[in-house]
Amino acid sequence: MISIAYSAGLFGIDGYLVTVECHSARRLSCFEIVGLPDNAIKEAKERVRAAAINSHLPFPQNEIIVNLAPADKRKEGSSFDLAILISILISGGVFEKPELLENSCFIGELSLSGEVRRVNGVLCMAVAAKKAGKTKLFVPQENVNEASVVKGLEVYGVKSVNDIVNHFNGLKELSKTEYTPSNENDAFSYPDFCDVMGQVAVKRAVEIAAAGGHNILLIGPPGTGKSMIAKRIPSILPEMTFEESIETTKIHSVSGILPQDVSLIRERPFRSPHHTMSAPSLVGGGKIPQPGEVSLANNGVLFLDELPEFNRTVTESLRQPLEDGKITITRTAGRITYPCSFMLVAAMNPCKCGYYGHPTHACTCKKEDIKKYVSKISGPLLDRVDIQIEVMSIGYGEISEKRKAEPSSEIRKRVNKARAIMQARFENDTTENGVKITCNAQMESKHLRKYCTLSNECSSLMETAFTALGLSARGHDRILRLARTIADLGGSEEIQPNHIAEAIGLRSLDKKYFN
């Protein structure tokens, strides 16, 4: 006799329905699992048997063969345990009305005592279960919040396998978990810009970067507040759209870093990896490919403090993700693509001692050492940074100022307004790679031609800058994108000459520091 229970597997951030078929026959006692299972699933045999015995459920002394279909997909992890045991219990006649289980999907790892333990990627699997037409989903209690986000699916949190048996046999019904928006992590926990005195030009640059999603490099001597300012950027980032939230939550869910009480990430992530990190942990990798920091920062900020301290191979590995907005990792398990649309924020001293270019403080570095220091950041990487801004120390008058500076909430209002304009503009636009465009920084040349038309006056200003600054085509496009954001912040449909002028000023440090 064949009995069936449904579960879901994970491939990257996409889930898929898995049919767990259990064949049981009155023959010599044995237990096999087939269907491309990895080692964790082979160990499922031991967990499932122990869980059944310790839950006082009958485990058939028969020949049992469990098949995980589709067989051509390599199944990973321990999330099939629960469905495997359910399929065996069905064949053992434990459920009085097994047909009641047909529209249900079961996800969870089992402990030896029969408890159901949390697994990674439940949101992705819940989406897949819904798509495959399942109406009920049983997940570990600890994962119930993330699963509840999926509309049109009844979600139940379970603590033990007996919860499910009792539920279906009418002994003790479980209650559905409804999605509660209060479980979104939108409580602002990031430090506020009201602490940053002076630095008007830097704050303006940061506001432009946040509004348009532009990559930004802060450069200047030590102690001038570069790290302080960068850490405040998440507090002014625009609100996330629902799609952005879902995508980012999926990645965090797959990585197992989604807090238990959070159902949906509503705050843009801010990832700040240390400079000792390796390239695979930055861009993703491992035997079972895991998302890297670039993907965990998806729809948010990746902050690299002390940029030249990072290993060059590590910073170079950023180029492709910066360009494509997604990254594909190839391993034996297959090719997995993770989204990685992020805003790069980097900070650095201009040289080893930190004072090169300082108006009053002498730099003690040798000329070739200065060159060596900045050359750690390659041209192609710099090319992908729209804004470079110098951060110099503020005067005594500003530091001793008693009044607080403008709070992040005010800056964020302006950023939100500008981003709303962008979202409306790019409603139907995608990049060549098929990434949906949400902000000006993602515009490619065809979008620039469409949305950044220039008046004659603006054109001639551009032409002057192009020749005087020796701009490349890439530099030209960068200025257009920035000017578009500056115009959006000012609520202007047309790009005006003052927008172009400000945009040019946001990228004028190449000569001073990098040549």
Ligand X SMILES: Nc1ncnc2c1ncn2[C@@H]1O[C@H](COP(=O)(O)OP(=O)(O)O)[C@@H](O)[C@H]1O
Q: Can you tell me which of 134, 226, 232, 507 binds ligand X, judged by CB under 6 A?
A: 226
Site string for ligand X, 338-377 (x = CB under 6 A): ---------x------------------------------
Report if residue 196 touches ligand X, rule: CB under 6 A.
Answer: yes
DSSP string, 411-461: HHHHHHHHHHHHHHHTTT-B-TTSPBP-SGGG--HHHHHHH----HHHHHH
Report if residue 93 touches ligand X, rule: CB under 6 A.
Answer: no
Taking CB under 6 A as the criterion, which residues in 440-479 touch ligand X? none
Task: Yes or no: say if 18 and 80 are a contact pair by the CB < 8 Å rule.
Answer: yes
Give the integer Cα–Cα distance in Å for 301 and 269: 6
Task: Yes or no: say if 139 and 190 are a contact pair by the CB < 8 Å rule.
Answer: no
Cβ within 8 Å of residue 453, ≥6 positions away: 495
Q: What is the 3-state secondary structure (H, E, C) of 155-173?
A: EEEECEHHHHHHHHCCCCC
**Residue whose CB is nearest to ligand X in the complex, by number:** 225
Give the integer Cα–Cα distance in Å for 85 and 68: 12
Binding partner of 196, given Mg ion, ligand X, none, CB within 5-8 angstroms per partner class: ligand X
Q: Can you tell me which of 227, 320, 337, 423 binds ligand X, judged by CB under 6 A?
A: 227
Contact set with Mg ion (CB under 5 A): 227
The least distance separating Mg ion from the CB of residue 206, rounded to whole angstroms, comes to: 15
For residue 482, which of 208, 233, 201, 207 has the smallest C-alpha distance?
Answer: 208
For residue 362, which of 198, 400, 197, 370 has the smallest C-alpha distance?
Answer: 370
Give the integer Cα–Cα distance in Å for 90 and 513: 70
Give the integer Cα–Cα distance in Å for 343 and 270: 10
- Closest CB to ligand X among residues 166, 272: 272
For residue 69, which of 123, 9, 129 has the smallest C-alpha distance?
Answer: 9
With CB under 6 A as the contact rule, which of the stretches 106-114, 226-234, 242-250, 286-294 interacts with ligand X?
Answer: 226-234
Q: Can you tell me which of 194, 228, 288, 365 binds ligand X, judged by CB under 6 A?
A: 228
- Closest CB to ligand X among residues 363, 479: 363
Report if residue 325 touches ligand X, rule: CB under 6 A.
Answer: no
Q: Can you tell me which of 223, 259, 334, 380 binds ligand X, judged by CB under 6 A?
A: 223
Binding partner of 228, given ligand X, Mg ion, none, CB within 5-8 angstroms per partner class: ligand X
The least distance separating Mg ion from the CB of residue 347, rounded to whole angstroms, comes to: 6
Cβ within 8 Å of residue 373, ≥6 positions away: 308, 350, 351, 352, 365
With CB under 6 A as the contact rule, which of the stretches 18-26, 216-224, 361-369, 465-473 interacts with ligand X?
Answer: 216-224
Tokens of 477: 């496009």
Instruction: Give 303's strand partners.
Output: 345
- Closest CB to ligand X among residues 181, 223: 223
Task: Yes or no: say if 271 and 300 are a contact pair by the CB < 8 Å rule.
Answer: yes
Report if residue 225 touches ligand X, rule: CB under 6 A.
Answer: yes
Nearest-5° Cα angle at 484, 480 to 487: 135
Taking CB under 6 A as the criterion, which residues in 388-417 touch ligand X? 394
With CB under 6 A as the contact rule, which of the stretches 189-197, 323-331, 477-485, 493-501 interacts with ligand X?
Answer: 189-197
Report if residue 77 touches ligand X, rule: CB under 6 A.
Answer: no
Binding partner of 271, given Mg ion, ligand X, none, CB within 5-8 angstroms per partner class: none
Tokens of 389: 């801004």
With CB under 6 A as the contact rule, which of the stretches 89-97, 221-229, 364-372, 501-509 interacts with ligand X?
Answer: 221-229
Peptide bond into 70 cis (omega under 30): yes
**Residue whose CB is nearest to Mg ion in the complex, by number:** 227
Binding partner of 98, given Mg ion, ligand X, none, CB within 5-8 angstroms per partner class: none
Give the integer Cα–Cα distance in Å for 169 and 100: 10
Binding partner of 297, given ligand X, Mg ion, none, CB within 5-8 angstroms per partner class: none
Please give the single-letter amino acid code of residue 257: I
Tokens of 280: 């695979």
Report if residue 191 touches ligand X, rule: CB under 6 A.
Answer: no
Q: Can you tell me which of 198, 280, 475, 505 binds ligand X, judged by CB under 6 A?
A: 198
For ligand X, how many residues bind (rule: CB under 6 A)?
Answer: 14
Report if residue 438 touches ligand X, rule: CB under 6 A.
Answer: no
The least distance separating Mg ion from the CB of residue 313, rounded to whole angstroms, comes to: 23
Task: Give the interface with ligand X as residue ranges (CB under 6 A).
Answer: 195-199, 222-228, 347, 394
